[in-house]
Homo-oligomer: A and B are copies of this chain.
Amino acid sequence: MAAPLDPEMFDELCPSDLSPIRFGDKWAGMVVRCLEDGPRRFSELRVPLRGVTAKVLTRSLRRLEADGLVRRTVLAGRVEYALTPLGRSLLGPMEVACAWAREHWEELLDAREGVGTAAD
Protein backbone atom coordinates (compact mmCIF):
# COMPACT_ATOMS: atom_id res chain seq x y z
CA MET A 1 0.00 0.00 0.00
CA ALA A 2 1.27 3.40 -0.96
CA ALA A 3 2.77 3.75 -4.38
CA PRO A 4 5.41 6.43 -4.81
CA LEU A 5 4.02 9.93 -4.71
CA ASP A 6 3.60 11.65 -8.02
CA PRO A 7 6.29 14.32 -8.12
CA GLU A 8 4.00 16.50 -10.19
CA MET A 9 0.90 16.14 -8.11
CA PHE A 10 1.06 19.76 -7.03
CA ASP A 11 2.54 21.26 -10.12
CA GLU A 12 0.70 23.65 -12.31
CA LEU A 13 -2.76 24.46 -11.22
CA CYS A 14 -3.44 21.77 -8.75
CA PRO A 15 -6.42 23.20 -6.97
CA SER A 16 -4.61 23.24 -3.67
CA ASP A 17 -3.84 26.84 -4.15
CA LEU A 18 -7.25 27.88 -5.34
CA SER A 19 -9.42 25.71 -3.22
CA PRO A 20 -11.33 27.10 -0.29
CA ILE A 21 -8.93 25.18 1.81
CA ARG A 22 -6.68 28.02 2.71
CA PHE A 23 -8.39 30.45 0.43
CA GLY A 24 -8.21 34.09 1.16
CA ASP A 25 -7.19 35.74 4.37
CA LYS A 26 -8.32 35.48 7.93
CA TRP A 27 -11.71 37.07 7.35
CA ALA A 28 -12.65 35.83 3.88
CA GLY A 29 -14.56 32.79 5.04
CA MET A 30 -16.51 34.74 7.61
CA VAL A 31 -17.34 37.46 5.13
CA VAL A 32 -18.75 34.94 2.70
CA ARG A 33 -20.91 33.46 5.39
CA CYS A 34 -22.12 36.90 6.38
CA LEU A 35 -23.34 37.46 2.85
CA GLU A 36 -25.21 34.19 2.72
CA ASP A 37 -28.64 35.73 3.30
CA GLY A 38 -28.29 38.66 0.97
CA PRO A 39 -26.41 41.91 0.44
CA ARG A 40 -24.84 43.59 3.42
CA ARG A 41 -23.36 46.99 4.06
CA PHE A 42 -19.82 47.61 5.15
CA SER A 43 -20.71 48.66 8.66
CA GLU A 44 -23.12 45.79 8.95
CA LEU A 45 -20.33 43.33 8.27
CA ARG A 46 -18.16 44.83 10.94
CA VAL A 47 -20.57 43.83 13.68
CA PRO A 48 -20.12 40.05 13.75
CA LEU A 49 -16.57 40.39 12.55
CA ARG A 50 -15.68 41.79 15.93
CA GLY A 51 -12.45 43.65 16.00
CA VAL A 52 -11.72 43.76 12.32
CA THR A 53 -10.44 47.15 11.35
CA ALA A 54 -11.78 49.02 8.36
CA LYS A 55 -8.52 48.68 6.52
CA VAL A 56 -8.32 44.95 6.91
CA LEU A 57 -11.95 44.32 6.10
CA THR A 58 -11.63 46.51 3.04
CA ARG A 59 -8.63 44.56 1.86
CA SER A 60 -10.42 41.29 2.38
CA LEU A 61 -13.47 42.49 0.46
CA ARG A 62 -11.36 43.84 -2.38
CA ARG A 63 -9.73 40.47 -2.77
CA LEU A 64 -13.01 38.63 -2.76
CA GLU A 65 -14.14 41.07 -5.40
CA ALA A 66 -11.00 40.50 -7.45
CA ASP A 67 -11.66 36.78 -7.31
CA GLY A 68 -15.21 37.26 -8.51
CA LEU A 69 -16.73 35.95 -5.32
CA VAL A 70 -18.22 39.21 -4.11
CA ARG A 71 -19.72 42.16 -5.93
CA ARG A 72 -19.52 45.69 -4.58
CA THR A 73 -22.36 47.98 -5.55
CA VAL A 74 -22.76 51.68 -4.98
CA LEU A 75 -26.32 52.82 -5.30
CA ALA A 76 -27.28 56.33 -4.32
CA GLY A 77 -24.29 56.69 -2.06
CA ARG A 78 -25.15 53.36 -0.55
CA VAL A 79 -22.45 50.68 -0.64
CA GLU A 80 -23.46 47.08 -0.63
CA TYR A 81 -21.61 43.81 -0.83
CA ALA A 82 -23.20 40.66 -2.16
CA LEU A 83 -22.14 37.21 -3.25
CA THR A 84 -21.82 36.57 -6.94
CA PRO A 85 -23.08 33.22 -8.26
CA LEU A 86 -19.52 32.02 -8.02
CA GLY A 87 -19.29 33.14 -4.43
CA ARG A 88 -22.60 31.51 -3.71
CA SER A 89 -21.33 28.24 -5.15
CA LEU A 90 -18.79 28.23 -2.35
CA LEU A 91 -21.40 28.01 0.37
CA GLY A 92 -21.82 24.28 -0.12
CA PRO A 93 -18.18 23.32 0.33
CA MET A 94 -17.88 25.77 3.19
CA GLU A 95 -20.78 24.20 4.98
CA VAL A 96 -19.16 20.79 4.57
CA ALA A 97 -15.98 22.15 6.08
CA CYS A 98 -17.80 23.80 8.95
CA ALA A 99 -19.76 20.65 9.60
CA TRP A 100 -16.47 18.80 9.89
CA ALA A 101 -15.23 21.37 12.35
CA ARG A 102 -18.39 21.27 14.41
CA GLU A 103 -18.04 17.54 14.62
CA HIS A 104 -14.37 17.42 15.50
CA TRP A 105 -13.39 20.59 17.29
CA GLU A 106 -13.31 18.82 20.63
CA GLU A 107 -10.77 16.36 19.32
CA LEU A 108 -8.76 19.22 17.91
CA LEU A 109 -8.74 21.09 21.17
CA ASP A 110 -7.89 17.94 23.09
CA ALA A 111 -4.95 17.35 20.81
CA ARG A 112 -3.77 20.92 21.12
CA GLU A 113 -3.81 20.70 24.88
CA GLY A 114 -1.74 17.58 24.73
CA VAL A 115 -4.46 15.46 26.30
CA GLY A 116 -2.61 12.19 26.23
CA THR A 117 -3.29 9.41 23.86
CA ALA A 118 -2.90 6.79 26.56
CA ALA A 119 -0.93 4.48 24.31
CA ASP A 120 2.03 6.76 24.12
Residues of A that sit less than 8 Å from B by CB: 1-11, 13, 15-16, 18-26, 28-30, 33-34, 37-40, 44-45, 47-50, 66-69, 86, 89-90, 92-94, 96-102, 104-105, 107-108, 110-112
Interface residue from B5, B28, B67, B112 paired with A48 (Cβ < 8 Å):
B5
Copies in the complex: 2
Interface residue from B15, B66, B68, B98 paired with A98 (Cβ < 8 Å):
B15
Instruction: Compute how far the CA of A93 lies from the CA of B98 in the bound complex, rounded to whole angstroms.
Output: 9
Instruction: Point out the residues of chain B lying under 8 angstroms from A44, CB to CB.
Output: 4-5
Establish whether residues A100 and B92, one from each chain, have CB atoms under 8 Å apart when the complex forms.
yes
Closest-CB distance, A102 to chain B (whole angstroms): 5
Instruction: Point out the residues of chain B lying under 8 angstroms from A9, CB to CB.
Output: 33-34, 48
With A20-B97, A20-B100, A23-B22: A11-B50 Cβ-Cβ less than 8 Å: yes
Establish whether residues A96 and B98, one from each chain, have CB atoms under 8 Å apart when the complex forms.
no
